[in-house]
Structure 1
Amino acid sequence: MTADMRMTWTLGGHGWADCTVESDRAKAELTASYLTSAPEDLLTALARLIAGETEARAQFEAEPTAYRWIFCREGDDSRVRVLELRQGSDHDNKGTEIWSAQLPVDALVRAVIRCFDEVARSYGESSYRSKWGEHFPRIELEALRRLWHARRRRD
């Protein structure tokens, strides 16, 4: 099972972000618009996985393209797929898989937490808001972190 994932979230023009996700095997570049709650949705989907759900989803809208994250959990392991869709409302089967990985849930969550911790350090929360157009997803990030730490203490 691949145990390594890296993710970056870089703010571009107002309301736009570039997200890079990579593993030892593949790399994908995604775009997100602030028209939807992309970072909050991603963090919340992972929190649901940590809480025990077997499938969770998040979507980044890039107007009109969309990037759909599909997380499937089996025990301590996860399979992550990122689909590129021509329209955000398209069914999964109309999407093209641009990245996938199998990795421990712990590695997945750790990579995303590190990513958003780095975003907070790099931009600061007030600069993030002025560039992205919405508040930094502090509530969702800390909720995910609490669930992750609680899970690690149980294991």
Structure 2
Amino acid sequence: MTIGLRIAWRLDGHGWADCTVTDRQAVVVLTASYITSAPEEFLTALARLIAGETETRAQFEAEPTAYRWIFYREDERVWIRILELRDGSDHDNKGTEIWSSRYAIDELARAAIHCFDDVARTYGESGYRGKWGEHFPHTELEALRRLWNDGRHLHGA
């Protein structure tokens, strides 16, 4: 099976990360600051989707720019929109859509889990905390992994 969606999280200086989203049509690079819990918020939003929510969000603050992920679930597919906003408190309609696509929820979850598994391998616990300034999001990653695995077993994947 060809993977169409890839997500990469690269720590870039203390408290900063670049999140690269790549698919068959485009590549976008989002900046995130540790002033908010961007990795935890992102992983939790995906877990809520898998658990059955039909709309959820996550936001990366880039001081003052923000990148807002908006997820709409319909059956086993998710429409993902990423908006760039001048300020994190802006309404969606003030944002510019920089990426949009539809994926199977399974593929989205797999891409996020692989992303943060790679982060753990690359930086390790102390390296991650030293560069990001916060603990690695184990709890959120494992909650997403557990929900994803449970869903795959229920659907025979």
The interval holding the TM-score normalised by the smaller chain is: over 0.9
Q: Which amino acid aligns with 1:11?
A: L
- Aligned-residue CA RMSD (Å): 1.0
Q: Is residue 134 of structure 2 the alignment partner of residue 134 of structure 1?
A: yes
Question: For structure 1, which runs of at least 5 residues remain unmatched after alignment?
Answer: none
Q: Deviations over 1:30-56 (max 9, x none)?
A: 000000000000000000000000001
Q: Which residue is 2:33 aligned to? A: 33
Partner-residue secondary structure (3-state), 1:128: helix
Partner-residue secondary structure (3-state), 1:81: strand
Residues of 2 paired with 1:118 and 1:62: CA distance?
A: 22
Q: Which residue is 1:24 aligned to? A: 24
Counterparts of residues 1-150 of structure 1 (less than 5 Å): 4-150=4-150
Q: For the Cα contact (< 8 Å) 1:3–1:103, is it kept in 2? A: no
Q: Is residue 151 of structure 2 the alignment partner of residue 151 of structure 1?
A: yes
Q: Deviations over 1:49-77 (max 9, x none)?
A: 00000001000000000000000000000
Residues of 2 paired with 1:70 and 1:39: CA distance?
A: 15
Residues of 2 paired with 1:3 and 1:67: CA distance?
A: 24
Residues of 2 paired with 1:17 and 1:135: CA distance?
A: 14
Shift of 1:142: 0.3
TM-score when normalising by structure 2: 0.96
Shift of 1:126: 1.3
Residues of 1 paired with 2:64 and 2:131: CA distance?
A: 21
Shift of 1:101: 1.0
Q: Percent identity, aligned pairs only?
A: 69
Question: For structure 2, which runs of at least 5 residues remain unmatched after alignment?
Answer: none
Q: For the Cα contact (< 8 Å) 1:7–1:22, is it kept in 2? A: yes
Q: Deviations over 1:101-124 (max 9, x none)?
A: 101000001001000000000000
Runs of 4+ in 1 over 4 A off after TM superposition: none
Shift of 1:3: 6.3
